Amino acid sequence: MAIKPFLFSATPAIHFRPHSAEQLGRIVSGYGSKALLVRGKNSLTRSGVYTAVASSLRDSHVEFYEWEISGEPSPRDIDRAVAENAGRGVRAVVSVGGGSVIDAGKAISAMLPLGGPVADYLEDVGTKTHPGVKVPFVAVPTTAGTGCEATKNAVISSVGPLGFKKSLRHDNFMPDVAIVDPLLALSCPPAVTAACGLDALSQLLESYVSVKASILTDMLAASGMERMKDSLVPACTGAAQDVNIRANLAYGALVSGITLANAGLCVVHGFASSIGGMYTVPHGVVCGALLVPCLRRTILALSQNEAGLPHLAKFARAGEILCGRRHSTARETCDLLIEKLEEYTRLLKIPRLGNYGITADSIGAIVDKTDNKNNPVKLDKDDLKKILMESL
């Protein structure tokens, strides 16, 4: 079989091992003696990670300023950070935290050279094209979820009835360095680990079946699913301090970022964009709540058309990876996949979307803003409405 042509983007320089965060100061000092440290409000201090990070920077004679982000970054958050740090001679931006913290740092590094409102450069929001200049950026994830330590976009949200969740994107916005230290996630609470883990797993699955998938993204996504399958539930139930378990999740999340940057995502993340702009719901919860109903509808649609059989076979292969076995037919193995994902959702206690104020009356407005992205089959509005009803 001929290999389908593909284009594969560059990745950051990746430092993946326990204790790799101890090298942060040395790495940052290579860019200069002044840095901006972007961090979350509380968890970094409580976990002890802040002390280690600050010591590493100081030991390498890096003077650093700090900027805190609470929740998903908004245009106002980014604009304020840029305005207050523009004249400080910052030579590198360092994000230490979860996906929102890394997205914020990525956007700040991109806007420091330009100034002005970040909204002007957001996809489907602004009218300006970013030239791709930035301050060097180092990403240090403390959760295993979005994989944004290996993506070329920063997700910025403005929540409300007219809100949005859109990307600031350029090939140059890929972090220069990603320091992936599994030890940094040891204190991550079970609920956060669960939501982040299902986000990463949904990204691996969606990039694997995406219409833009390639032989290279397939291999990476499959390896990520293989590592996560037996580690996600233990990390949230009884093995939270197991470094090997945390390393498997960290690898899965990292790879999900690489594959989504090259193959794109599907309808689960189409929903995540529209819901995230309208309601304050953790991104991982949205993905976890929608993963099963979205895949069930997609698999059903593919099985009704002969043209969908190649994609159905890929879903079956994903089921074989996650379940460790397969049935005699692709459709039966797809059913195994759905059962496994339902098991994950149940054991990880993923909340329903109705817990966040989303009701049946909200469905029409959400569907109107939702697209299929790179889903292997286009789901119509009726399908999308049924998916949402299943998740309330």
* pLDDT tens-digit readout, 273-296: 999 999 999 999 999 999 999 999
Span 345-372, average pLDDT:
96
pLDDT of residue 43: 77
pLDDT of residue 327: 86
Write down which residue in 163, 185, 207 finishes a domain.
185
Same domain for 30 and 127, yes or no, is yes
Measured between alpha carbons, how far is 99 from 196 in angstroms, rounded to an integer? 9
103-151 residue pLDDT tens: 999 999 999 999 999 999 999 999 999 999 999 999 999 999 999 999 9
Q: Has residue 250 been placed in a domain? A: yes
Same domain for 22 and 141, yes or no, is yes
pLDDT of residue 46: 79
pLDDT of residue 69: 93
pLDDT of residue 104: 98
What one-letter code names the amino acid at 115? Answer: G
Write down which residue in 155, 185, 215 finishes a domain.
185
Q: Has residue 6 been placed in a domain? A: no
pLDDT of residue 41: 82
Same domain for 336 and 197, yes or no, is yes
| Whether pLDDT at 1 is above 80 | no
Same domain for 224 and 300, yes or no, is yes
301-332 residue pLDDT tens: 999 988 899 999 999 999 999 999 888 899 99
Give the C-alpha distances (Å, rounded to integers) separating 302 from 57, 164, 310, 311.
52, 30, 9, 7
Span 149-167, average pLDDT:
95
**Collapsing DSSP states into helix, strand and coil, what is residue 96?**
strand
CB–CB of 258/147 below 8 Å?
Answer: yes
Same domain for 169 and 268, yes or no, is no
Q: What CATH number does residue 169 fall under?
A: 3.40.50.1970
Write down which residue in 159, 185, 211 finishes a domain.
185
Same domain for 174 and 207, yes or no, is no
Same domain for 258 and 223, yes or no, is yes
247-256 residue pLDDT tens: 999 999 999 9
Span 380-384, average pLDDT:
97
Q: Has residue 135 been placed in a domain? A: yes
pLDDT of residue 326: 87
Residues 6+ positions from 108 with CB-CB distance below 8 Å: 36, 38, 67, 78, 81, 82, 85, 93, 135
Of 356, 351, 310, 318, give the one whose Cα is nearest residue 334: 318
Same domain for 164 and 220, yes or no, is no
Average pLDDT over the chain, rounded to an integer: 96
Q: Has residue 5 been placed in a domain? A: no
Span 255-278, average pLDDT:
97
Cα dihedral 9, 15, 18, 20 sign: negative
Same domain for 157 and 89, yes or no, is yes
Q: Has residue 278 been placed in a domain? A: yes
Residues of the domain holding 75: 13-185
Span 349-357, average pLDDT:
96
Residues 6+ positions from 296 with CB-CB distance below 8 Å: 338
Q: What CATH number does residue 346 fall under?
A: 1.20.1090.10
Span 182-202, average pLDDT:
96
| Whether pLDDT at 383 is above 90 | yes
- Contacts of 339-348 with CB under 8 Å at 24 or more apart are 341/291, 341/292, 341/295, 342/292, 344/198, 344/201, 344/232, 344/233, 345/198, 345/288, 345/289, 345/291, 345/292, 347/233, 347/236, 347/237, 348/194, 348/197, 348/198, 348/232, 348/233, 348/236, 348/288
Same domain for 122 and 267, yes or no, is no
Span 85-98, average pLDDT:
97
Same domain for 223 and 359, yes or no, is yes
pLDDT of residue 44: 84
| Whether pLDDT at 45 is above 90 | no
Q: Is the pLDDT higher at 71 or at 246?
A: 246
Count the domains in the chain. Answer: 2
